[in-house]
Structure 1
Amino acid sequence: MTDTNVGFYADPDETPPLAQAVPLGLQHVLAMFASNVTPSIIVAGAAGLAFGGPEQVYLIQMAMLFAGVATLFQTVGIGPVGARLPIMQGTSFAFVGVLAGVAATQGLSVALSACIIAGVIHFFLGAVIQNLRWLFPPLVTGLVILAIGLYLIPVAIKYAAGGAATFQMEAESFGSLMHWTVALTVVVVSLVLKFFTKGALSNAAILIGLIAGYLVALAFGMVNFGAVQNASWITTITPLPYGFEFSLGAVIAVTLVSIVSAIETVGDTSATTKAGAGRQATDREIAGATYADGLGTAVAGVFGGLPNTSFSQNVGIVGMTGIMSRHVVTIGALVLIVCGLVPKIGAVIASMPLPVLGGGVIVMFGMVASAGLNMLTEVKMNRRNMVIIAVSLAAGLGLNLVPSAVQYLPGVVKTLMTSAVAPTAVIAILLNLVLPDEV
């Protein structure tokens, strides 16, 4: 590698020697692993699935398996599908708020069915994505991402304190010093490694922090390995494990987030080519990346996985190493697929006590909100834009916090109005189109 952003392997089709490619592929997995499995754990909890139970383990397995499959769609490609760039795919936090709400009120069958349909719609966005970018300037996308982070932060605090009321095994000791000791161990270790180390340690900071918290929880006697002992070594993949159940409100809500996710993927694709090859992404690469996003989401939904999208932290690795080889990320994808086919691995992750997960997601959800704020720094803060931010966030988050305020609306509309993300996005888009620019 070189001291500039463009390394020896600026061509995506070049392959470093295996001795270099394998560690780099593993580094890509370490950077995204914790963020990839966490959404499935949260949505499973919202759906009322037993914490650490076989159904939750299955969702974790599908998160790993189809993150790997979706990454192969990107790096290897099928026809027009795939950017054929070093883009790592994984389960997106952007969908957690919507899917957790749908799963809690209508069940996983509705949530996963909405993912399948939204994935198909997302796929066809690949043909027109360039023509839609004007609807999602930094003001809109930044607001949506900020709303997602702010919506999820209370979930992080509940987990860190020992779980929400739905997790009865934790409810009696909710907020105890033991729980906060475990959660803060994760936070402190993650921050120390992120900012005081470099390379693989820094990129895997949250994962290592989770391991440290897991060990502290183990010392406190909080870990139950029963599910690990009962888990098999090879997973059985089941199409439509919860059936197929259509809900228009759920489909609209998930599709709105899919559009935002597609715009993020466009940004990640452009950032990858700029960081690794010093050039702009081509129209074919942007369309291919979007096709892969949608196809990965739809296929994952069929088998019980949550929506996939490009992972921005892995774009940072490309910029840091200067290695643009898509074959390096393909190695990471194969590692994820192997992990997804071994239920023992999913059971170990599912045995993670809630305070351990809580410590990790305090950092991760906070970073989601920070990413939104970072996008908003590109926006001129005049009266017009401040009003758009104020009204969009107030309505989106406010209705989510007080859902009874719209209790008399029809089911579909109520689902949309209380999803936090959907009303924030719709109001921001409409106001941005209607309100005149200030000179």
Structure 2
Amino acid sequence: MKKLIYLFVICLGLAGCSKDSFVSNFDQKPEERMAASIAEVNTSLLSSTNGWIGTLPTNAGGGYGFYMTFNNNQEVSMLGDLTDATSNTLRTSTFRVKTGLGADLIFDTYNHISILADPNSGVFGGTTGTGFRSDVEFTYVKSTSDSIFFVGKAYRQPLVMVKATAAQKAIYTATDGYKNAINKIKTFFANTNNPYVEVTSGSTILKAGISLNVTNSLTVGKRINFTGLGPDGKVVNSSTQKYAFDAEGVTIVNGGLVWGGITFVKLRWKDATTLAAYDSTGKEYIIKSSIAPLVPLFQLWGTKYNGMLSDYKTIYPGTTTKGADILNYFHNGLIASVTGGFTFNYGRINFVWNTTNKRLTVNGFSSQNGGTSGWITAIIYNYTVTDAGVFKFTLNTAASGGYTANPLSRLHTFMLANTVTFDYYIDNGNLYGKMTSVEDPTIVMTFLLQ
């Protein structure tokens, strides 16, 4: 009974409390908080007297770098690493910071960032309708003393901007400064045979080969890759991440690239000719050169490379006359007299590896609208491979689907009649995959590695 009386008294006490004694945790109205957030973003954008160094990965393609300055007239002036022209031509457009899901930074007139979102595939090579799946509207996330972070509204890719130093600004604003910085990195990788870094794993020194794809290809462009054998000397470890060029080298986006338990975040010049990789702790790894590739190509199927591509009417360097005859029977045979009644204006051959089941699929794609859509003929082969990397193919599934069974017929005959090896072919800094007949070494075909 005493307990009931005690609880009753407490309830009366609570009921008698004045409403005025409640203090809200929110001392501002929602619209006031949003106005403060917008003001904070605007102030931050204008606060860097030397401008901002920006990085932006795209959803469908690689990563890209920018140098930006903002002014009180809601104008942004920008350089970008998309092309020589964008890295050397300062483009001024307008921007706004307005209310959205948060404070939104909007590039509302066309600039270098807009190119990545351009739906016209003829502008920069993106997919018709979606471009590189990139944004021009970004939601504010947070700021630090030297950085500001946004995320794309549609494709959720991080736009990170770091305050530039006076020395960095001098490079960006010098004539050809950014372009020359980019080309210096490109030249290093074009002229360095099989670049790699050494990584310590216990008592073992591992070598990770580094490749930098400097193209703007949606599927493989603007990516950096580390590949090497693990401690057992047999298992191939491969890791790929997107990157952006900056005034001092390369910044690896999306938090960096992880290889051998180490997170690599950037490439920088140690001196005029020595390039080094740096991990998230600041440790330095000098990039060295190897006469031969660190890992044979055939060991990279299914890890670093999933396949090869022969694009429409393109014969790549290193292909011999006999090899070109086989490939051109497909590329020049997308006509009614060869396909059996239909003519196409685009086609390609894709090799796709399934190393788990030891199968190789050859896909012959044909299109009547320039590649936007089309039909695929697939031939599936089983294979065996020796320790030396000699492949023997046998038929698993005959050509099915699509309209390119006959255009593929010469390649199909070659696959069954020959044992083959796979190797690298380098031409003018570009790396290709080379397939060579063991029985007739004058039959060589080269392909884009994918």
> Which structure has the greater CA radius of gyration?
2
Which protein is richer in helix relative to its size? 1
Which protein is richer in strand relative to its size? 2
TM-score (norm 1): 0.21
